[in-house]
Amino acid sequence: MFAMESSENYLREFTSRYTSVSRSEFMKKTRIWIFFIALALMFVGCKGKKGNTGRFDNPLGLLLPGKPFITKVTPSSGPTFGGITVTIEGAGFRAGMRVLFDGLDASNVQVLSFAKLQCVIPAHPEGPVPVTVISPEGESYTLNNAFLYVLFEITPNMGGVNGGYTVTIRGANFSPGMTVFFGANAGTNVAVQGGDELEVTVPASTTGSGAVDVELNYPNGEKVLLAQAFTYSDWQFETPDNGTGDIRRMQGFNRGTYYNIMAVGRGGMILIYDGQNKSWSTLSTLNKVGGGTLDVPPTVNFEGVWVTPTTSGSTTKFNAYVVGSDGYFLRGQVDYGNNSTWLWEKFDLGVTNDFTGIWGFLVGTNHNLYICGYNGTALYIAGADPATKATIGPGDVFDIKPGVTNSFYDVWGFQDVRASGATDKDSKAVFFVGSSGTIIRYNGTTPIKENTSTAFGYYAGTLRAIRGFESTNPTVYVVGYSSYTPTNSYRTTIIEGVFDPANNTYGYTRMNVGSNSDSLYGLWLPENGNGERAYASGGGSAIYELTTNQGAKTWAPMPSGDTSWWYSAIWGYADANNKPLEVFVGGRRGRVMHHLPDQPNTSNPHMWSNEQTGVFNDVYGNAWNNIWAVGDQGSVYSATNDPADPNKLKWTQETGPGANYNLKGVWVSSPNDVWVVGEDTTQNNQGVILHYNGNGVQWSTDPQQDPKVLVLSQANSAMNAIWGFGPEDIYAVGNGGRIYHFDGSGWSQVAQGTTTNDLLGIYGYRSSYSERIVAVGKGGTAVEFTGYSWRTVTTGTQEDLFDVHGSSNYNIYMVGNNGQVLRYNGWSVYSQTLPQGTTTTNYYAVWVNDYDDIYAVGSGGVIVHYGGYSVGWEKYNSPATGDFVSVFGADANEMFLATANQVYRGHSHWVVQVVRTLTKRIYNASVVHTPIGTGDIWVVASDGSSARKRSGKWQRFDTGVQNYLYYAMAPNLGGADVFACGERGTLLYWDGNSWSKDTGKDGTSTITSFIWWLWGTAVNDMYAVGSYHYQGGYKQTILHRTTTGKNQDWNQVTIDTANTRTGVGSPVYSPYQSLYWIEGKSSNDVWALGGTSFLHWNGTNWRPASTAQFTGGGVPSRYLYLAWMDRNTGKIFAVGSGGQTAIYDGTAGGTGTWQTYIGTTGSTPSGTSSTLWWVYGKDANNVWAVGSSGTIIYWNGSQWTLQTTPTTSTLYGVWCDGEEYVYAAGSYGTLLSYKISDPARGWKQEPVSTNQSFYFVNGDKQKNKRVIVTSEFGTVLTK
């Protein structure tokens, strides 16, 4: 196509260019220009039959400027808040054009030519939109899905004022060379991970806490301003176990018949893999050579590691060298023949630049090291081994002086080119690789900057890792990322360098990686091989494999699961023929993936194995190692870690609720919190929701005994599916359009009248700003709740829909009969194009791992998978021919399928290793006390672990158990003693040096159930309360420890039931109610409570509140879960379900009055009917209780009042520092503060950015008002 600006311009150019040419040439060119002039005149002056200027009525109308059209929008994506300039290409553009993005006018439209214009995009919600151009005459053209609106977001969007941590920014059109500012301060270490994601290190705040703008500056001069998008906070996340940091590098070392691996990472993390036992462990304590421990600041990030054996006679030791930020350098050694303890030394090399990599060579017995880092750091140390150098200092470091200031990210070499005896130093050199495509080849004398322009084209990329092999000519592979083309498109980068002996240099070319856009950080290949097999790892869970076919080398991405994981580290080993045998990758949050190359079915992303035979309707779990499957006739199976193999599952047939129940759905929040739905076949198939609370003994089936149970009275009212956001926010659906919601205190029916069709599936997604719950059922029914009301969704089908699942509010899939696989984006429902032979399948279940990783399964064993827009839907190999009834994904690498009689487990070639258990730890309780003036903080966790913070450093301590720990306390806040309790009768004692396990006893029987709470005045005067299994049911327990020392018995006390309470109402004591709390004003004035039971110890007897009076609301009608005692007055404030509270007047000896309060009406209201989970006070006249739906009530000394809060999330804990602030913590990152001296301020969300739930808040009233909030994923929050 030819485009003209105006006839005058062309005449002017014609005159200037052709006034001095030969006559023949003049006539020849004149004919051409006469044609062009005529064409221009038609463009500007002709009228068509409609009289529109610029339109010529002829069959070649597309060549003329009549009706406009669009061929391309660049960039094709942008932020939801608009404001960026885009270029639109096409034809027919002229002055006065309008541009619409999904009907919204763009601004500042500038026509650059007949075929190109620019405009500024309007704001619009995320998602693809059509782009329309309209001429001044009203003619228009629309290009559907021409532009994608992307939600720019920062994760996390809050952090400490000291900076130094990494955040991820997601958006669009990112490219190397970007800069990021937080307020007026530039972030550092900007690493673009792909066109839509980058990482940046946050600078320290110069304005204190508060929100700041974040400005993204593109290399082309474009700017995107994220207004007030990041908040600096006084709160700091900490990882007591040091096991959730990101793994940066790993190195294996040969133990003879197996390999061990050392992995290092952020936060001073060091992990060890034992290849013999196939298990990972964390070096939470670094023992020093000569004794003591080495303190590594949590701000130190380890970036490189090299491990080598040292043989002396018959003894083989191993040495490790670890480098990191701020010039950190460690040397470690271990003698496995003697013990397995690594001993460490830290040396100051006199360098403050961050070290990013290390590689070494064993020359004789000497360990010679090459180190790289930021700002052109390239160093050499000869003889770094302990036998040669007892200490290492600046005088031992040789500066290679590479002649560049680019940052290096990796170093590797064929040999130690500085060692005597090295030959062919130019070909077998040492290489330093880094930013701007920099490769320095070092031959021992001269650093040579390599020419890599042939490998990059337009833009030089960032190189992150290098490895090589000796072939006919020495060869290296280098991985990274780059903007490869002039159009600035982002490309995965792998280049190959081959030594050219004729020119004594390396030639670099780009290897075939297809059109992928992953950033790569790690590289491994058999160094003694010929380069035919290799592996690379990087961002977005990218793992690439190099294969060679008839000499042609091709890199291709492998199926590796959830794209939220990044893998910076990779290592493997090969057999004698250089065939890879085992490959490991490590990355974000300590996650490690493990691969056995050349497994069968390599074309199928999942390899399925038979897990368990039984009767099944549904399978679900909350982790890969906590899976539950249920079916008809009360069938219940569970799966946990197999002790014999940590990568396998051990299945157990549980004692179900009864063979009369057909169980249709299951939802799990923890091993001790399992919910099922179904029908009771002996009661006219009435619907039921049942609950399991642990230990494999008892299911709750009676709603009178457990508010978590629901039994419908109508016949044929089966409940068919269940989904939860948390244990106090659960939805279930069933026949007749029934939808029930559990809010923590009980079930209630919602959405009445929305539909009467049977509902068969339900799914929900909630973010910090929106939610969507979708239920599907018969006749193509779909209903949804978006925070305000339930409404129907038009699905476009009348086929039955059986299941629904998604990955966001705008990416939800529904499946059903006759090939129904539908995508719902929040506005419209779209039918999917399925593979041939699957279009009439009845699809019974769907699972969405991500937008490009979706499974739908159904009749005849059909499995179809969606791999993204470029892949579409594919049919996968199936392990079965029967109908699949359920599918569940613990993550993208761990999938579970169920037929009516078999559960299958499927995983990719890359199997997540047991290091992942570090990311599942939940810290449930904390103790703050000051033994010997140290100001210790203790936390205990869901996996039985514990950690202590002393002098600013966390250290983990083995408790000897793996049971769920609920609570911990110190009987003497000035001493070293700490007690902890938990499930299965767990009672632990710390004596200042180590943990020991005590035993609860009822006579000669050992108590093995739940211990919820502890209190005591001394080591030999400790109480614990809970419940235990007794004759098929539960019986409350009060245990008393009366001895000192380790491994002691706690004995069940005797309850004197001869005397009953004489106050208002009938006796409420029941020995079959669990006790949840115990505390005393003194050792002879102690109260224990739980459910509706109140027990008192008067120094002589334990009695069920025999002399206390109950007034106000009378005897508590709801369960009480927790209490707080004001130590000054002895007053007790107890809270529980349904908004129930009870207050004791503090009379010594237990002879005083309890006054009860409940609900929002009556003479003694509590102000709420929500379940209350925790209570705490400043004094007896200032007490706060928190609970479900963001509820907080306040006691002012005379009455309870409901306070306004900014959240509807469940609040689990509350604590007061005694003077200034009250803190309340709960689900989905909720952390509220209340300033006592400023009630008008109200409750405010604290600046923490996370969706992690907080379970417990505590602090130190005496030492700097420290606050600690326990959380999940192995983290705690401190201030």
Q: Report DSSP letters for 869-927, one per residue.
A: TTT-EEEPP-S-SSPEEEEEEEETTEEEEEESSEEEEEE-SEEE-GGGGGGG--EEEEE
Cis peptide bond prior to 75, omega within 30° of 0:
yes
Rounded to 5 degrees, φ, ψ at 599 are: -75, 160
Rounded to 5 degrees, φ, ψ at 890 are: -65, -40
pLDDT score, position 809:
83
Contacts of 722 (CB under 8 A, 6+ apart): 665, 666, 667, 675, 676, 677, 689, 730, 731, 732, 733, 762
pLDDT score, position 282:
82
Of 357, 251, 375, 341, the C-alpha closest to 304 is 357
pLDDT score, position 26:
42
More confident residue, 964 or 54: 964
Mean per-residue pLDDT over the chain, rounded: 83
Supply angle C-alpha 1002, 1003, 1008, rounded to 5. Answer: 35
Q: Checking phi first, is residue 464 left (phi over 0); if not, alpha (psi -120 to 50) or beta?
A: alpha
Predicted confidence band of residue 623 (pLDDT cuts 50, 70, 90): confident
Asked if residue 202 and residue 81 are part of one domain, the reply reads no
Which of 373, 399, 425 is the last residue before a domain boundary?
A: 399
Contacts of 221 (CB under 8 A, 6+ apart): none
Query: How many C-beta atoms surround the C-beta of residue 870 within 10 A?
Result: 7
Contacts of 305 (CB under 8 A, 6+ apart): 249, 250, 251, 262, 263, 264, 320, 321, 322, 323, 358
Residue 509 has pLDDT above 70, yes or no: yes
What's the rounded mean pLDDT across residues 576-589? 84
State the DSSP code for 589.
Answer: G
pLDDT score, position 1251:
63
> What CATH number has the domain bearing residue 206?
2.60.40.10
Asked if residue 186 and residue 69 are part of one domain, the reply reads no
Contacts of 1269 (CB under 8 A, 6+ apart): 1213, 1223, 1225, 1231, 1254, 1256, 1257, 1276, 1277, 1278
Residue 2 has pLDDT above 70, yes or no: no
In a domain, 574, yes or no: no
Predicted confidence band of residue 489 (pLDDT cuts 50, 70, 90): very low
Q: Is residue 97 a contact partner of residue 134, using CB atoms and an 8 Å limit?
A: yes
In a domain, 447, yes or no: no
Asked if residue 271 and residue 234 are part of one domain, the reply reads no
Q: Where are the beta strands (DSSP E) in 102-139?
A: 104-105, 107-113, 116-120, 127-134
Q: Give the rounded percent of residues in the chain with a pLDDT score beyond 70.
A: 84
How would you list the strands of the sheet with 936-941, edge to edge? 923-929, 936-941, 946-950, 953-957
DSSP secondary structure of 1080-1128: EEETTEEEEEEBTEEEEE-SS-EESSSS-EEEET-S--S-EEEEEE-TT
Q: Is residue 304 a contact partner of residue 356, using CB atoms and an 8 Å limit?
A: yes
In order of 132, 141, 147, 393, the CA distances from 135 in angstroms are 10, 9, 20, 74
In a domain, 420, yes or no: no
Which of 372, 399, 426 is the last residue before a domain boundary?
A: 399
What's the rounded mean pLDDT across residues 737-765? 92
Q: Give the rounded percent of residues in the chain with a pLDDT score beyond 90.
A: 46
Residue 1066 has pLDDT above 50, yes or no: no
Instruction: Tell me how far apart the alpha carbons of residues 199 and 214 are, in angstroms, rounded to a whole number.
Output: 13
More confident residue, 40 or 663: 663
Instruction: Tell me how far apart the alpha carbons of residues 1274 and 917 are, in angstroms, rounded to a whole number.
Output: 9
Instruction: Tell me how far apart the alpha carbons of residues 106 and 566 are, in angstroms, rounded to a whole number.
Output: 37
First-last CA distance in the chain: 66
Supply angle C-alpha 1116, 1122, 1123, rounded to 5. Answer: 85
Most confident of 21-30, 412-421, 785-794, 899-908: 412-421
pLDDT score, position 601:
38
pLDDT score, position 992:
87
Asked if residue 183 and residue 37 are part of one domain, the reply reads no
Residue 915 has pLDDT above 50, yes or no: no
| 744-758, 789-803, 837-851, 961-975: the lowest-pLDDT one | 961-975
Of 1218, 1223, 1220, 1219, the C-alpha closest to 1205 is 1223
Q: Is residue 811 a contact partner of residue 825, using CB atoms and an 8 Å limit?
A: yes
Query: pLDDT for 435-466, tens place per residue?
Result: 878 999 999 999 999 988 877 754 567 899 99
In a domain, 902, yes or no: no
Instruction: Tell me how far apart the alpha carbons of residues 974 and 1260 are, in angstroms, rounded to a whole number.
Output: 12
Instruction: Tell me how far apart the alpha carbons of residues 807 and 891 are, in angstroms, rounded to a whole number.
Output: 12
Asked if residue 195 and residue 129 are part of one domain, the reply reads no
What's the rounded mean pLDDT across residues 73-88? 87
Q: Is residue 507 a contact partner of residue 496, using CB atoms and an 8 Å limit?
A: no
In order of 136, 829, 833, 1248, the CA distances from 58 in angstroms are 21, 42, 40, 66
Instruction: Tell me how far apart the alpha carbons of residues 180 and 160 are, in angstroms, rounded to a whole number.
Output: 18
Alpha helices in 205-312 (DSSP H): none
In a domain, 1071, yes or no: yes
Of 948, 1028, 1033, the C-alpha closest to 987 is 1028
Which position has the token pair 């309008």? 98
Predicted confidence band of residue 542 (pLDDT cuts 50, 70, 90): confident
Task: Give the three-state DSSP class for 737.
Answer: helix
pLDDT score, position 611:
86
Asked if residue 1165 and residue 1118 are part of one domain, the reply reads yes
Total domains, the chain? 5
Across the chain, how many H-helices and E-strands are there? 3, 111
Q: Is residue 680 a contact partner of residue 664, using CB atoms and an 8 Å limit?
A: no
Instruction: Tell me how far apart the alpha carbons of residues 309 and 333 are, in angstroms, rounded to a whole number.
Output: 10
How many Cα atoms sit within 13 Å of 568 on the Cβ side?
A: 24
Residue 1237 structure tokens: 């001296």
Instruction: Tell me how far apart the alpha carbons of residues 175 and 191 are, in angstroms, rounded to a whole number.
Output: 9
pLDDT score, position 893:
67
Alpha helices in 314-398 (DSSP H): none
Predicted confidence band of residue 387 (pLDDT cuts 50, 70, 90): confident
Residue 1015 has pLDDT above 50, yes or no: yes
Which of 191, 212, 238 is the last residue before a domain boundary?
A: 238
Asked if residue 1146 and residue 1078 are part of one domain, the reply reads yes
Asked if residue 268 and residue 173 are part of one domain, the reply reads no
Query: How many C-beta atoms surround the C-beta of residue 53 within 10 A?
Result: 15
Residue 432 structure tokens: 């330093």
Residue 567 structure tokens: 């893998």
In a domain, 880, yes or no: no
Burial class (CB in 10 A: 0-12, 13-18, 19+), 756: middle
Asked if residue 343 and residue 214 are part of one domain, the reply reads no
In the beta sheet, which residues pair with residue 1142?
A: 1134, 1156
Asked if residue 231 and residue 246 are part of one domain, the reply reads no
In a domain, 1165, yes or no: yes
Task: Give the three-state DSSP class for 832.
Answer: coil
Instruction: Tell me how far apart the alpha carbons of residues 518 and 492 are, in angstroms, rounded to a whole number.
Output: 5
Query: How many C-beta atoms surround the C-beta of residue 685 within 10 A?
Result: 18
What's the rounded mean pLDDT across residues 236-243? 54
| 254-258, 725-729, 908-912: the lowest-pLDDT one | 908-912
Rounded to 5 degrees, φ, ψ at 41 are: -60, -40
Q: Is residue 181 a contact partner of residue 226, using CB atoms and an 8 Å limit?
A: no
Asked if residue 1043 and residue 1177 are part of one domain, the reply reads yes
In a domain, 69, yes or no: yes
> What CATH number has the domain bearing residue 973?
2.130.10.10
pLDDT score, position 770:
63
**Range of the structural domain that residue 977 is part of:** 921-1278
Which position has the token pair 């490219």? 175
Residue 1151 structure tokens: 């002879």
Sign of CA dihedral 1265, 1271, 1274, 1277: negative
Asked if residue 1090 and residue 1071 are part of one domain, the reply reads yes
pTM score of the predicted model: 0.51
pLDDT score, position 338:
75
Residue 592 has pLDDT above 90, yes or no: no
How would you list the strands of the sheet with 645-653, edge to edge? 618-623, 626-630, 636-642, 645-653
For helices 23-45 and 7-17, the axis angle rounded to 10 degrees is: 170
Contacts of 1279 (CB under 8 A, 6+ apart): 234, 235, 236, 1266, 1267
In order of 884, 1013, 1056, 1142, the CA distances from 1149 in angstroms are 64, 22, 16, 18
pLDDT score, position 974:
61
| 95-104, 334-343, 1064-1073, 1114-1123: the lowest-pLDDT one | 1064-1073
